[in-house]
Amino acid sequence: MQKHSIVIVGGGFGGLATLHELQRQGTSDIQITLVNPANFTLFTPMLPEVASGSIEARHIVQPLRSADSATKADRPSTAFELGEVVTADLEGRSISVRHPVTHDVKALEYDELVLAVGATDSTMGVSGVKEYAIPLKTIADAQILRERVVAALEVATRTPDPVERDRLLRFAIVGGNFTGVELAGELQAFLEKVIHYYPGISLSQIELVVLDSGEHLLGHLPSKFGKYAASVLRKRGAKLLLKQDVGAIDAAGLILKDGTRISSATVIWAAGEQPSALAGALGLKTSKHGAIEVAADMSVPGAAHVWALGDCAAIPRPHGGTYAPLAQNAIREGALLARNIVASIEGKPTSNFRYRERGQMASLGNRKAVALLPGGHMITGMAAWLAWRAYYLGRLPSLQLKTRVSIDWALGTLFRSGASRLPMVDRDATSFDSYLPAKETHAADR
């Protein structure tokens, strides 16, 4: 008998939640294929700690090829396909997947298609973001960021010119929401730990600037959360520039819309994200933010057998608006979406997605955090920090990663951070391109 083929595009929070629930709920008549451009999934909430070196990069990634090993005989079989979906024939129910090594494009047929392709950085129309700012979205971004911070300290320690030294010792984070705030806390803690290795540089010479266009940090939460985060960061010496719009970024630093120049050799872009452009490329109807418009059961109207969830989808809330692009939402969406697919295969009715976020937390480094608990309660300081660690440790996708991160944290309390610079993260040198078949490489040389 021909198996029912379900293709999940995107191996992040939403895609994997869908996969795992399908593996639990589906029958052996189902064949699942997971497509992702990298052969691992990334646990983004701990990226700021990788950027500060508190956690090793490999300890927050989970191989995707192990996803198929969990399958039992009476459950769906699962395959992993390394590649990026570039186009689709939604009428003919087929997608085209480009392999990252050979670049050849393969067609994959489906009975049900799940789009969980997430979001990418948005420059928000600010010039120079791509060229001069460092994003924090991928594991390579986190590693590059750490190398750049250490490089700035290394060069500053031997730079006699006070103006240039000042530029090297100013670290600017654009965006004061979760990523920007957590990164600021981590970076401050890191700089405090390593500064004594650098002769002639004191903590008072370093300036960490956080800029945001809103009135307070953590703008999606009630203002008391942002105010607490601001007081913690300020006490440790950070400069907060609120209600400030960045107009441009260049090699010397950034320029505010009012013309003020802030010189900085390290500008970090944590200001905006936009849903993956794949939705538009497939001709699906999108919201004004570019997210795929879906019905409340996450099916895509007008595209039969297509479903979408997570950061790439605009899922309507029962009383207006759409669900926020958060991992906790994508995980719940994935679980329901899997059940809806199984229901639709069995000819049963599907259910609408309804979920109330359980709370949100931002770690501020140095054993402090701020947390919004269910019911709107706020906890701060060490208690919130312990809650942050316990919650996110629990959400890591495997026992192996939980153990590795716990060990990193324990070592962090026992030993001082180092400031070794490992200039090995070169996107070209580590790209798959160098693994092209020899004949193709030689042909390209001629």
Ligand X SMILES: Cc1cc2nc3c(=O)[nH]c(=O)nc-3n(C[C@H](O)[C@H](O)[C@H](O)COP(=O)(O)OP(=O)(O)OC[C@H]3O[C@@H](n4cnc5c(N)ncnc54)[C@H](O)[C@@H]3O)c2cc1C
Measured from the CB atom, the residue of 255 and 278 that comes closer to ligand X is 278
Work out which of 278, 279, 291, 405 binds ligand X, going by CB under 6 A: 278
- Residue 145 within binding range of ligand X, rule CB under 6 A: no
Instruction: Tell me the window of 11-19, 157-165, 194-202, 421-429 that interacts with ligand X (CB under 6 A).
Output: 11-19
Footprint (CB under 6 A) of ligand X, residues 383-442: none
Q: Per rule CB under 6 A, is residue 359 in the interface with ligand X?
A: no
By CB under 6 A, name the one of 62, 188, 264, 276 that touches ligand X. Answer: 276
**Residue the block writes with tokens 């993956």:** 276
**Tokens linked to 427:** 């996107």
Q: Which is nearer to ligand X, 14 or 253 (CB)?
A: 14
Burial 400-423 (b: 16+ CB within 10 A, else e): ebbebbeebeeebeeeebebeeee
Pick the binder of ligand X from 23, 44, 177, 299 (CB under 6 A): 44
Radius of gyration, CA atoms only, the chain: 23
Q: Does 323 bind ligand X (CB under 6 A)?
A: no
- Shorter beta-carbon distance to ligand X: residue 64 or 255: 64
For position 365 contacting ligand X by CB under 6 A, the verdict is no
Instruction: Output the smallest distance, CB 392 to ligand X, in A.
Output: 7
Q: In what order do the strands lie in the sheet with 84-89?
A: 84-89, 94-98, 105-109
First to last CA, the chain: 50
| CA 362/CA 218 separation, integer angstroms | 9
Beta strand 292-293 with 313-314 is: parallel
Structure tokens at 256: 């505010």
**C-beta closer to ligand X: residue 262 or 308:** 308
Among 5, 37, 237, 256, binds ligand X (CB under 6 A): 37
Q: Which of residues 79-118 bind ligand X (CB under 6 A)?
A: 84-85, 116-118
As measured in angstroms, the least distance from the Cβ of 44 to ligand X is: 4
From 13, 80, 171, 228, residue interacting with ligand X (rule: CB under 6 A): 13
Nearest position to ligand X, beta carbon: 12
* Contact call for residue 314 and ligand X (CB under 6 A): no
| Least spacing, CB of residue 343 vs ligand X, in Å | 21
Within 10 A of 193 (CB to CB), how many other CB atoms are there? 18
Question: Which of these, 242, 31, 48, lies nearest to 145 by C-alpha position?
Answer: 48
> How far apart, in whole angstroms, are the C-alpha atoms of residue 349 and residue 358?
27
Work out whether 33 is an interface residue with ligand X (CB under 6 A).
no
Contacting residues for 79 by C-beta, under 8 A, at least 6 apart: 31, 32, 33, 34, 68
User: Is 11 a binder of ligand X (CB under 6 A)?
Assistant: yes
Cβ-proximal residues to 96 (8 Å cutoff; 6+ apart), any chain = 85, 86, 87, 88, 105, 106, 107, 108
Helix (H, G, I), strand (E, B) or coil at 391: helix
Which contiguous run of DSSP H or E holds residue 24? helix 13-25
**Smallest gap, in angstroms, from Cβ of residue 206 to ligand X?**
22
* Min dist. Cβ of residue 257 to ligand X (A): 25
Is the CB of 42 or the CB of 156 nearer to ligand X?
42
Q: What H or E segment, with its residue span, contains residue 270?
A: none
CA 444 to chain centre: 35
* Smallest distance from ligand X to CB 198, Å: 27
377 DSSP β-pair partners: none
* Max Cα distance, the chain (Å): 76
With binding defined as CB under 6 A, does residue 19 bind ligand X? no
| Residue 328 sits in the site that holds ligand X (CB under 6 A) | yes
Contact 388, 409 (CB under 8 A): no
Q: How far is the CB of 63 from ligand X (least distance, A)?
A: 13
Which range in 4-12, 158-166, 203-211, 366-374 contacts ligand X by CB under 6 A?
4-12
Contact string 329-348 vs ligand X (x = CB under 6 A): -x------------------
217 binds ligand X (CB under 6 A): no
| Cα 130 to Cα 114: distance, rounded to the nearest angstrom | 30
* Count of residues engaged in binding ligand X, rule: CB under 6 A: 33
Chain residues that interact with ligand X, rule: CB under 6 A:
9-15, 35-38, 44-45, 47, 84-85, 116-118, 136-137, 178-179, 276, 278, 310-312, 325-328, 330
